[in-house]
């Protein structure tokens, strides 16, 4: 363990502001819990009853049987819902990372009891994100397959990019990362290619039915009359076509076979960590430190003190550029560099952040970004001081850094501050949001104010007179729209993050993600683009 000094907390849990924040955040977490419960929808009762009569398990039950006993399961993108006409939050796939026979694996399970597991636009985009995570972190993939293929009414939005799923199976195979498919039911067209492209395919007897075209389409195309079992049953594919490598007698047997294959493969783990020490302060206190009102500031060191081992933190350049906190710590035994906002980003803070990112690359240390900023400082004085070029240094450093980064949006994520703090466009390995966070070009009131000024200038330039009542109505409308489109739930529905988490789970989520990123060698770079001086 690093020999670092602990942070001395100044939080007073008995203060009025702490208690008020705590109550407000508890209400936020109740909303989060309700929404996550809604995302566990696995189809209408009629479809579930039918599955039970056929001795089938539900998607989430299959995942439970597959995972090692007591393995954590980091579910990803459970509230994705990119199209309100789609099949509900999370689409028709449950996805996440867990341990199978001691190996960290990406697990994708089709929800066959919801629209037959058909792939809508949300499900496709979610699957593509899972491919990215598996590729970047060298994760084998286990697919629990039961899918009717593309949702045909959405084919124009799905077809072109749907092929990426098959391409990525092949690319991972070339890289030595296996894909195992266990097929539990009907898997048609695109659903058939998943096991067909996999390194290992397990078909469940009398249940798996895999074909490029089902009996109705075969009849239309060739006039051939054939039943599902003869056309694509598990027996046929295991004994005749060879598409199946293993014929499982039932679902549990299929899951057993997948676990045995992972036992044979046994990927070596590359993580290097020391013994972890619990933080000195209760992580529950985070709820009283942060606020649902992003205008209320807090010291990010208080968050760091509640997520790092022993609350230890070696701060870098503490007295310079103090709206950005930088330093080293350990989380669940993993050495990390932490970059956290303490307000708007000034030139000094941007330069400090760029310097720190270079150091973490030099020492092969993963980066944790804690985002809570309204962006870079603006104004005549700051433009003259070169705010643009100093901010560009930080964006340059984030862009070219090669050590893994994990981003948590803990408050505001506005403007270019989102870029400088490793937002989604800068490809952090993982990005999670707290339920109080907001992401936008700027705050809603600022945006509405800017639009009002522009509108007034346009009216005056044309020689007209401003309609004050109409302008105020427009201002209120813009505030409401921006608030709606910048909250954490809108962001997660668009897959701008990998999920909304309870702030009290931050330490454990980070620890698990660090275990995942250390699946690959952590190697920094000494090569950066031109820093404008």
Specify which of 7-11, 155-159, 475-479 reaches the highest per-range mean pLDDT. 7-11
pLDDT at 376 over 80: yes
Q: What is the DSSP string of 263-315?
A: HHH-PPP----------SS-GGGHHHHS-SSTTS---HHHHHTTTSGGGB-EE
Average pLDDT (11-38) is 97
Fold of 39-265: 2-enoyl-CoA Hydratase; Chain A, domain 1 (3.90.226)
- Range name among 74-78, 420-424, 482-486, 527-531 with the lowest pLDDT average: 482-486
* Contact criterion met (CB below 8 Å) for 186 and 206: no
Strands (E), 289-403: 314-316, 324-331, 334-341, 367-373
Sheet containing 246-248: give its strands across: 73-75, 93-100, 103-110, 141-145, 179-183, 200-204, 246-248
CATH, domain range 283-441+487-517: 3.90.226.10
User: Cα-flanking dihedrals φ and ψ of residue 123, to 5°?
Assistant: -60, -40
pLDDT at 152 over 90: no
Q: What pLDDT is stored for residue 3 in this prediction?
A: 65
Q: How is the chain split into domains, by residue range?
A: 39-265, 283-441+487-517
Between 186 and 325, the more confident residue is: 325
pLDDT at 217 over 90: no
* Tens-place pLDDT, residues 274-284: 889 999 999 99
Q: What pLDDT is stored for residue 2 in this prediction?
A: 63
Shared fold status for 39-265 and 283-441+487-517: yes
pLDDT at 215 over 90: no
* Tens-place pLDDT, residues 27-37: 999 999 999 99
Q: What is the largest CA-CA distance in the chain?
A: 83
Per-residue pLDDT band for 271 (boundaries 50, 70, 90) equals: low
Q: Is 106 helix (H, G, I), strand (E, B) or coil?
A: strand
Per-residue pLDDT band for 16 (boundaries 50, 70, 90) equals: very high
* Tens-place pLDDT, residues 35-92: 999 999 999 999 999 999 999 999 999 999 999 999 999 999 999 998 777 899 999 9
Q: What pLDDT is stored for residue 265 in this prediction?
A: 86
Mean pLDDT of the chain: 93
Q: What pLDDT is stored for residue 293 in this prediction?
A: 94
Q: What pLDDT is stored for residue 368 in this prediction?
A: 98
Per-residue pLDDT band for 502 (boundaries 50, 70, 90) equals: very high
Residue 482 sits at the vertex; the CA angle it makes with 476 and 488, to the nearest 5 degrees, is 135
């Amino acid at each position: 363990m690093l020999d670092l000094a602990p942070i001395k907390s100044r939080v007073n849990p008995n203060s009025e502001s702490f208690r008020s924040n705590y109550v407000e955040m508890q209400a936020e977490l109740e909303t989060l819990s309700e929404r996550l419960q809604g995302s566990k929808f696995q189809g209408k009762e009629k479809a579930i009853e039918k599955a039970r009569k056929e001795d089938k398990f539900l998607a989430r039950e299959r995942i439970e049987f597959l995972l090692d006993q007591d393995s954590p399961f980091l579910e990803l993108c459970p509230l994705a819902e990119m199209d309100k006409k789609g099949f509900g939050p999370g689409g028709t796939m449950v996805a996440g990372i867990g341990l199978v026979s001691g190996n960290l694996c990406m697990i994708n399970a089709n929800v066959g009891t919801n629209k037959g597991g058909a792939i809508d636009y949300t499900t496709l985009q979610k699957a593509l994100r899972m491919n990215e995570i598996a590729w970047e972190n060298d994760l084998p993939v286990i697919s629990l397959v039961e899918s009717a293929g593309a949702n045909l009414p959405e084919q124009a939005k799905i077809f072109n990019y749907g092929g990426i799923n098959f391409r990525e199976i092949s690319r991972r195979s070339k890289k030595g990362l296996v894909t195992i498919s266990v097929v539990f039911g009907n898997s048609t067209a695109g659903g058939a290619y998943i096991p067909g492209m996999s390194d290992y395919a397990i078909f469940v007897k009398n249940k798996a039915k895999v074909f490029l075209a089902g009996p109705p389409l075969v009849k239309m195309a060739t006039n051939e009359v054939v039943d599902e079992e003869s056309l694509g049953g598990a027996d046929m594919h295991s004994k005749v076509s060879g598409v199946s490598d293993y014929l499982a007698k039932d679902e549990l047997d299929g899951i057993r076979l997948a676990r045995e294959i992972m036992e044979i493969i046994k990927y070596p783990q590359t993580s290097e960590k020391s013994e972890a020490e619990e933080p000195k302060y209760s992580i529950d206190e985070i709820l009283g430190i942060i606020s649902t009102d992003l205008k209320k500031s807090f010291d990010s060191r208080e968050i760091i003190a509640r997520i790092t081992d022993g609350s230890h933190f070696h701060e870098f350049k503490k007295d310079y550029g103090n709206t950005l906190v930088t330093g080293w710590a350990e989380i669940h035994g993993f050495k990390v560099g932490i970059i956290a906002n303490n307000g708007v980003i000034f030139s000094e803070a941007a330069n400090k952040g760029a310097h720190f990112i270079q150091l973490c690359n030099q020492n092969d240390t993963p980066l944790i970004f804690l985002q809570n900023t309204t962006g870079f400082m603006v104004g005549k004085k700051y433009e003259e001081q070169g705010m643009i070029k100093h901010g560009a240094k930080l964006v340059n450093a984030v862009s070219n850094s090669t050590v893994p980064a994990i981003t948590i949006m803990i408050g505001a994520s506005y403007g270019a501050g989102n870029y400088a703090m490793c937002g989604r466009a800068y490809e952090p390995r993982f990005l999670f949001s707290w339920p109080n966070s907001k992401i936008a070009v700027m705050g809603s009131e600022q945006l509405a104010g800017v639009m009002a000024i522009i509108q007034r200038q346009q009216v005056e330039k044309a020689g007209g007179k401003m309609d004050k009542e109409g302008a105020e109505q427009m201002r209120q409308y813009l505030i409401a729209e921006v608030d709606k489109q910048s909250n954490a739930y809108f962001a997660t529905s668009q897959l701008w993050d990998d999920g909304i988490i309870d702030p009290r789970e931050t330490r454990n989520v980070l620890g698990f993600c660090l275990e995942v990123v250390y699946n690959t060698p952590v190697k920094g770079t000494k090569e950066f683009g031109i820093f404008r001086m």
